[in-house]
A and B are shown apart, each in its own frame.
Chain A
Amino acid sequence: MRRRVSWAPLMLVTLLAGVTVAYLIEARGVSLSPQNLLLLQPTAWLVLLLWAVLAIGYLRTPVLAPEEGPAESWADVGRVVAMVAAFAGFILVLEPLGYDIAIWGFTLIALIIGGERNVIALAIFPPLFSLAIVHGFRLLVPYPFPTSLI
């Protein structure tokens, strides 16, 4: 059987295991008392153990070409990544740009990523939606949130 390394999931579990190690070191730095580490430390060890098990698996993934199902096309993956990036950008500009502009911009970009090409819809929906959300949540939520225009 041919085997190969599955890099992406390997990197993911390794990253999470790394964060876990950092967390464990930090927590042990706070205190070595069992009142601090009672659940945290055994769970962290469990994560590292499972990391080892999973990592070995990812280093030796059997190549089962026909059974992998219809592979995602690069365009599909690209759209998903673009949506994740757009969402991340949206959250990060909420405070600096104001909630109204951020919502309008994100809705517009997400619609385009989602495949909406109707110019009228693109022109109308994002601002109306932004207006509705900002006003709606102003009524519902007692907390102020920064906006630029509305």
Chain B
Amino acid sequence: MIDFPAFGAAISLLAGSPQAWIWVVPGLLIGLVFGALPGISVSMAMALVLPATLYMDFLPAIIFLTSVYTGAGFGGSIPAILINIPGTSSAVATTFDGYPMARKGLHSEALGAALVSSCIGVLISYIILFVLVQPLAEVVLRIGPFEMAAIGIWGLVLLGSIGGSTVAKGLFAAAIGVLCGTVGMNTAGYMRGDMGIPWLLDGVPTIPAMVGLLAASQLFALVNAKFIVENKENRTISLRRILAGGRLVLGSPGTLLRGSAIGVFVGAVPGVGSSIANLISYGETRRSSPDPESYGTGNPRGVIAAESANSSSEGGSMATMLALGIPGGGATAILLAAFAMHNVIGGPRFMEQNRDIVYAIILSNFAQALVLLVIGAGFVFVASTIVRLPLRYLIPTVLVMSTMGAFAIEGSIAGPLTLLAFAVLGWLMSRYGFPVAAIVVGLLLGKLIETEMLRAYQLAGGDAVRVLDYPVAVGIILLMLVSLALSLRRDLRRRAALKTDTAAAVD
């Protein structure tokens, strides 16, 4: 399916335009910085640099923007690991194991693992894009409400009670999250729970709520600590250990490939994308692992699963954008706007007539992934100095930056107020042993599940049997049931074995 003449033309196109290349490094750096700032999302970073691209040629402009995209995609994982702040919703699952690793003093390893899995994720997704752009886009376009609802439910089942001390507490937290996710106007136009506040009509602002739940609540709990990493010897800033973290990724090819595959397909679905993909990938990795209990306490595979999925979403959403002209999210919407500014209309015709340019974009992204490896290593090396900062300075600094980030999303006080409400809720709940991560998962997936389930219900006309018309959805649900049954059986067996062991020990 590779069009070789166009491929050759793409290579000469790239080789012949050195000015296209000088934008890769600044683009990645801008992306990294913006991505690392809590609340500044990938699409915002791209919107900010968009005016500058107006005066570039088409190819350099697109390469610059996709460099920002790639950089910001990884940048979000840095605060996720170091201070438990998911800079974007696609880095939520990164916090689950990344932050515990940092607290244990394994911040360098976690950052290295995140970097390398991101780079490889981007690479894999663009390789898939390169070979299969058209079929990939077709598959993604076919994923409808039944399939999406099934994926969302799967995610909730996998992660619903994550990290709780008891199942009841985990479920309680997740259910509260789901309820928060239903606030506002739903897809059928019903408005509830908005308390007459106009901005709540769109639902609880997700990013401030997440940052409040995960980060601010955690920072409050750290008021009496001195440093994020308690042990002084572990507060190292070491390139060697970052690289060691990278090597961990190469030792877990299964996790990496699964994460990338989930990222490419789930992450590419218009409108849902990477924020769901990283959760599903994390949940699947945890479920299929021989020691699921180690997840959430600092298992590097958790970081690898999350990061490979969120970065490979980039290639997936580029596929729908290039092949169909449909923006999957804010970032690709801006890319399409940039196309338009250069009088290029994305979509099927563009793909057919400009295969060389499409290939050039893809090839330059291969290069971006490799350059990111170098630039990113330097960047996380500098960023990891955060562990040396005393918490009495770090706490107010991060709280203020999070507040400004929450403001920056829509430019209104709505963001900071949401941040405050959820910071207090998260602090209280985590104080009494409720897993805040489950609230976040509920919040993110609740919105998705309600929307998609409602559409499925409308499509079926209220007739549940109609589900059978959607074999893929049924397949996902069956797969979910089978895999749950298998893990349940394994758990029971292990528990039985544990019992006989202790019984034997007592004898």
Contact = CB atoms under 8 A, between A and B. Distances in A.
Nearest to B425: A16
B193 interface: yes
B178 A39 contact: yes
In this complex, the interface size class of chain A, counting residues with CB under 8 Å from chain B, is: 35 or more
A80 B419 contact: no
A143 B408 contact: yes
Nearest to A85: B424
Given A91-B416, A107-B400, A113 B223 contact: yes
A54 interface: yes
Interface string A114-150: 1110000000010001000100010011111100000
A12 B400 CA distance: 27
Interface residues of B, number: 61
A40 B48 contact: no
A141 B416 CA distance: 15
Contacts of A125: 393
B395 A83 contact: yes
B502 interface: no
B446 A80 contact: no
B432 A88 contact: no
Contact of A46 (B175, B220, B393): B175
Given A30-B191, A80-B223, A39 B423 contact: no
Nearest to A104: B400
Nearest to A15: B428
Given A80-B220, A91-B420, A114 B396 contact: yes
Contacts, number: 163
B7 interface: no
Contacts of A133: 400-401, 404
B186 interface: yes
A91 B403 contact: yes
B304 interface: no
A95 B413 CA distance: 8
Interface string B391-435: 111011101110110011011110011011001100111001100
Contact of A114 (B168, B223, B403, B410): B223
A140 B403 contact: no
Nearest to A53: B168
Contacts of A80: 220-221, 223-224, 427
A79 B423 CA distance: 16
A97 interface: no
Interface string A87-109: 11011101100010001001100
A110 B396 contact: yes
B46 to A, nearest CB: 13
Interface in B110-149: none
A39 B449 contact: yes
A83 B223 contact: yes
B220 A137 contact: no
B493 interface: no
- Which A-B residue pairs are the 3 nearest by beta carbons? A143-B411, A114-B392, A110-B396
Interface of B: 34, 37, 40, 48, 168-169, 171-172, 175-176, 178-179, 182-183, 186, 188, 190-193, 216, 220-221, 223-224, 391-393, 395-397, 399-401, 403-404, 407-408, 410-413, 416-417, 419-420, 423-424, 427-429, 432-433, 446, 449-450, 453-454, 457-458, 462
8 contacts: A23-B183, A26-B192, A36-B188, A47-B172, A79-B223, A87-B220, A133-B404, A140-B40
Interface of A: 8-9, 12-13, 16, 20, 23, 26-27, 30-31, 33-36, 38-40, 43-44, 46-47, 50-51, 53-54, 57, 76, 79-80, 83-84, 87-88, 90-92, 94-95, 99, 103, 106-107, 110-111, 113-116, 125, 129, 133, 137, 140-145
